[in-house]
Structure 1
Amino acid sequence: MTTTLAPASQATTDPALAPSAAPTIETSSSTLEVDQLVDVWSLLHRMRRIKIHNSPSTLVARVTKLDDALKEAKKRYQDASDSVKEKTRQVEEHQKSLPQEIEARAKDPQDEVADMKHALCDSVQ
């Protein structure tokens, strides 16, 4: 496999290359941008570093801890979601019964006048 780096002078004079295009490395199989190669290299470097500094049992413990935290977060989310659904149901029921409550509490003005007359008569006697 042959690898060649495009010269900087060619990048500025070649009309096929856009001025904002990143330098590329051409191989016989494909063309990769330098940024992609840096990303791949850093990923491989991190993977190697993880393997060197962490034993499999440590990694398993970390994954287990993260899995438990995820399950706990899902449970808390579900509990909060259920609570919101219950409160929403209660509010909807209250809104449905509100017109009847208002109607039951509201009195006809003639009834209120009659009640006041009776109360006044009772207090005078």
Structure 2
Amino acid sequence: MTYQWLDEIKWNSDGLVPAIAQDYQTGKVLMMAWMNRDSLALTVAEQRAIYWSRSRGKLWRKGEESGHVQVLHDIRLDCDSDVILMTVEQRGNIACHTGREHCFYKQLQQNSWVAVEEVKRDPKSIYRKNDE
């Protein structure tokens, strides 16, 4: 199978492109993460969001630990061919590793960042570390 469409993307010097995940029903921006060629091709093939984790240096299937999978509904490329926009169904209604609905929960108030969105679920109950 050929992936010529991947060649039309302007990847940064690290071979990455920013990807924004947006709720397909509400339009709310859920999160931003990075994708490389493999993660984007797999996202399309599997119809679920798969990102490149810069901190772990590996593919990251959204929801692989938490169960909060992002099912792909639509994918678009911006006019400069350097940003991906995906509309997704966020399973479990939690996109952020902090247990919130989305990652943009801090609001600038009087020169300070203030958390203005509630934690829907304690992250300790979402992410289980295997200590064995």
Q: Normalised by the shorter chain, which TM-score bucket?
A: under 0.3
TM-score when normalising by structure 2: 0.19
| Structure number, greater radius of gyration | 1
Which structure shows the bigger proportion of residues in helix conformation?
1
Which structure shows the bigger proportion of residues in strand conformation?
2
